[in-house]
């Protein structure tokens, strides 16, 4: 049953059924078909600050393939991973799902769905979980349907998480992919860094 076609979609552990999003091959890892090339990325510490996770979590999830940076992976010692804004949204959602005890298999399936969805679809998406299973709802009616069935105890509005991450990133530093130039955020408390940047 496809999202928006009569009810919430159950995101089972393992491959997503036909009509539910990415093909089974897409769930083998968490990377979708490559999106248009990003021009700006965020280093690990910035991604951690915006997602509310530790660097240890970020590093572990990247090394295990749970959430890998889509802008630039690490190519060995001395290189910096660069995460895109959607990567950071996924990081924040993964943390919340792990905190509620959702299985890693179900989280991997949810990550694949988040990676594959277009921006407009993600704005409308709500993830509902019952502590073990994750469901994708594409409308408020589907959320109500699921809750009335007694299947949901925890919900994540993907649109709200996206807005929260976007607001956080505005105050943090980004990096241009092509030149490596640091793009300073709008954090008023960071005026000293701005002055140093201009002086340099």
The per-residue pLDDT for range 59-105, each reduced to its tens digit, is: 999 999 999 999 998 776 667 899 999 999 999 999 999 998 888 88
Residue indicated by tokens 């530093």: 173
Q: What local confidence, expressed as pLDDT, does residue 189 receive?
A: 53
The rounded distance, in Å, linking the Cα atoms of 68 and 62 is 5
pTM given for the model:
0.74
Torsion over CA: 48, 49, 50, 52 (sign): positive
Q: What local confidence, expressed as pLDDT, does residue 199 receive?
A: 58
What CATH class has 38-117+161-199?
mainly alpha
All structural domains of the chain with their residue ranges: 38-117+161-199
Q: Which residues in the chain show pLDDT less than 70? A: 1-37, 76-78, 151-153, 187-200
Contacts of 183 (CB under 8 A, 6+ apart): 40, 173, 174, 175, 176
């Amino acid at each position: 049953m496809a999202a928006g076609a009569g009810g919430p979609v159950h995101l089972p552990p393992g491959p997503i059924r036909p009509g539910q999003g990415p093909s089974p091959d897409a769930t083998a890892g968490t990377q979708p078909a490559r999106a248009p090339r990003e021009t700006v990325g965020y280093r690990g510490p910035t991604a951690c600050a915006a997602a509310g996770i530790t660097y240890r979590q970020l590093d572990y999830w990247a090394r295990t393939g749970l959430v890998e940076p889509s802008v630039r992976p690490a190519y060995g010692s001395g290189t910096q991973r660069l995460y895109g804004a959607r990567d950071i949204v996924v990081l924040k959602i993964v943390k919340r799902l792990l905190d509620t005890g959702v299985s890693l298999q179900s989280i991997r399936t949810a990550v694949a769905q988040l990676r594959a969805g277009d921006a407009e679809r993600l704005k409308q998406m709500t993830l509902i979980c019952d502590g073990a299973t994750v469901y994708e709802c594409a409308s408020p009616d589907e959320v109500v349907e699921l809750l009335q069935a007694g299947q949901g105890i925890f919900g994540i509005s993907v649109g709200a998480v996206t807005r929260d991450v976007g607001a956080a990133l505005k105050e943090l530093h980004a990096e241009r992919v092509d030149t490596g130039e640091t793009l300073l955020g709008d954090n008023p408390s960071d005026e000293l860094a701005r002055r140093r940047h201009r002086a340099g």
